[in-house]
Structure 1
Amino acid sequence: MKLRLGISPCPNDTFIFHGLLYPQEHPEMTPPPYVFETTFADVEELNRLTMTGEPDVCKVSAHAAAFMLDDYVVLRSGGALGYGCGPLLLSMEPATIEDLWSERIAVPGRMTTGALLLELCGRSKGMGPSVKDSRPPVLYSEIMPALERGEIPAGVIIHEGRFTYQDHGLELVQDLGAWWEEAKGLPIPLGVIVMRRTLGRKMHVAMEKAMRRSLAAGLAHPDRAAGFIASHAQELDPRVIGQHVQTFVNNFSMELGREGERCVQTFLNSARGLHGLGPVVDIFPE
């Protein structure tokens, strides 16, 4: 059976999915039950595609997942959650989030986890709702260059940017993930894998198992995916790619577990609450 799959070109996604997309390079792995028609795209584009119902399986921002639960379930494997891995608010000069709140702050997409964390963090510090158009969406790989050129006073960066921003002379204003961890006592859910509800529980569980097998194969033989990962990565430095995988691929990627499920549910309901919507409980395959 063919499934339409959407993932980002980031090293954590390409690492996790390498075994599914290239099972012939992992002969010891049970072949996946599906053939994938794969789209690689920036996470905000993946959010948009999934809002239209196009993919069968897709990596999306945890923020966006809160608004697609009528049509998709969140799978318990393949996501990006953890401690010490959240988005960062940066500027060219030392500042506080209060200093910058009324300024234009670039976000890597309006429905990204970074955009939501910025709003939640600011509100927790007594700031009012963001002024319309004060949070321009900018492709995540372009935010640091825009800061360096002085086009924006501040920006929220994700992915590899957390490992390289100091090389660009940028200042850390707020670690938004650390704020969430302290406020909620939970890891930060950056992105999750969603799958179309109508495919049914049997296929949902089969997909979770397939992702776990793919990840286990990658962990056992990380060299096999190295070329594939580098061919899609924004940062080509092997050291940065290695840091990225080590940071964003962890036990939660293999299996959410109770803590991971609670983290995702808390975050999704925080997103819905900010938009005046009620909480949800039917999130994962039953």
Structure 2
Amino acid sequence: MKIAFSPCPNDTFVFHAWVHGLIPGAPELDVLYADIDVTNHLAAAPGGPDVLKISYAALPWVLDEYRLIPCGGALGRGNGPLVLTAGERTGISGPAALSGKRVAVPSERSTACLLFRLWAAQQVPGGLAEVIVMPFHEIMPAVRDGKIDAGLVIHEARFTYPNYGLSLLADMGSWWEADTGLPIPLGAIIARRNLDAERIASWTRQSVEYAWAHPEASKDYVLQHAQEMDPSVAQSHIDLYVNQFTADLGEEGYAAIDALLGRAAREGLVPPIERSRLR
């Protein structure tokens, strides 16, 4: 079975057991490790992998071919994307100062970008000059070096941005949670509609449960793919992004997905979808 997910610690932690043949009855996986922008496009292209991790923001474009798997993804509180600047030298002291500025985002169809556009519609009068897509690991150096005015960052950048001399302008997660009272839907696991979704969900959930029961087992695998990340940062990343919603979305998880995609559809940012297609 072909699967694509990012090399980030939460994904490698979640899928370690399945990738290494530790889930009884689960098929062998042929893994493609790819940035979220790559997996978002793979899901929308003909002949994509059987199972993928994509942004929830990309879900409305792929539901004809794929269905949402209710576990294995990233959804939670206190883990939203951050808008960063290079501090006082930029002259950007608040959200309104982003008007007419150039901002980098990690995939046009990422949940991070979707949240940012919803936030900017409220907070940035006059709008942005340009939104530029960059691989997420290139964004902080670009902000630091003055190549762009601000950057929207995800993943371990929450913990490492001070190392680049950057300043936090806004936390998309804090804004979303204050505005809706709901957790943030970040990354979804999807599977082709011609596959047995219940079995895929079962294997994925077993892999999550194995990871929690044997946290030491995946450490070498996680760090191998974590782009020279400090082990403590990798663990903080896992602790933040692997939570109760990773084991099962539950009613609150589905409500958060519906709220995000419903609001985005009303703003014309994503195609509208039937709620029933999420289950």
TM-score of the superposition, structure 2-length normalised? 0.93
User: Which residue of structure 1 aligns with residue 111 of structure 2?
Assistant: 113
2 CA distance for matches of 1:211 and 1:128?
44
Q: Which moved more, 1:210-219 or 1:230-239?
A: 230-239
Cα deviation, residue 126, structure 1 = 6.0
User: Which residue of structure 2 aligns with residue 45 of structure 1?
Assistant: 38
Deviation digits for residues 134-185 of structure 1, max 9, x if unmatched?
0110110010111111111100000000011112211100001111111111
User: Which residue of structure 2 aligns with residue 61 of structure 1?
Assistant: 55
2 CA distance for matches of 1:176 and 1:235?
27
Deviation digits for residues 92-130 of structure 1, max 9, x if unmatched?
025212101320000011111111111100112363554
Q: Which runs of 5+ in 2 are unaligned?
A: none
User: Which residue of structure 2 aligns with residue 252 of structure 1?
Assistant: 245
Aligned residues: 273
Q: Residue 273 of structure 1 contacts residue 279 of structure 1 at CA under 8 Å; is this kept in 2?
A: no
Q: Residue 102 of structure 2 contacts residue 128 of structure 2 at CA under 8 Å; is this kept in 1?
A: no
RMSD value, Cα:
1.5
2 CA distance for matches of 1:148 and 1:242?
26
Cα deviation, residue 272, structure 1 = 2.6
Q: What letter matches 2:155 in structure 1?
A: H
User: Which residue of structure 2 aligns with residue 160 of structure 1?
Assistant: 156
Q: Residue 92 of structure 1 contacts residue 169 of structure 1 at CA under 8 Å; is this kept in 2?
A: yes
Cα deviation, residue 273, structure 1 = 2.6
Give SS of 1:90's match: strand
Deviation digits for residues 209-228 of structure 1, max 9, x if unmatched?
11111111111111111111
Q: Residue 5 of structure 2 contacts residue 32 of structure 2 at CA under 8 Å; is this kept in 1?
A: yes
1:278 aligns with 2:277: no
1:150 aligns with 2:146: yes
1 CA distance for matches of 2:143 and 2:124?
26
Q: What letter matches 1:187 in structure 2?
A: P
2 CA distance for matches of 1:182 and 1:170?
24
User: Which residue of structure 2 aligns with residue 268 of structure 1?
Assistant: 261
Task: Say which of 227, 232, 239 aligns to 2:220.
Answer: 227
Change (3 A) 1:126 1:161: closer
User: Which residue of structure 1 aligns with residue 191 of structure 2?
Assistant: 195
User: Which residue of structure 2 aligns with residue 180 of structure 1?
Assistant: 176
Q: Residue 83 of structure 2 contacts residue 170 of structure 2 at CA under 8 Å; is this kept in 1?
A: yes
Give SS of 2:216's match: helix
Task: Say which of 43, 64, 70 aligns to 1:70.
Answer: 64
User: Which residue of structure 2 aligns with residue 239 of structure 1?
Assistant: 232
TM-score of the superposition, structure 1-length normalised? 0.91
1:84 aligns with 2:78: yes
Q: What letter matches 1:215 in structure 2?
A: V
Cα deviation, residue 85, structure 1 = 0.2
Give SS of 1:223's match: coil
Q: What letter matches 2:69 in structure 1?
A: L
2 CA distance for matches of 1:159 and 1:45?
16
User: Which residue of structure 2 aligns with residue 141 of structure 1?
Assistant: 137
State the identity %.
37
1 CA distance for matches of 2:264 and 2:227?
28
Q: Residue 99 of structure 2 contacts residue 127 of structure 2 at CA under 8 Å; is this kept in 1?
A: no
2 CA distance for matches of 1:278 and 1:68?
12
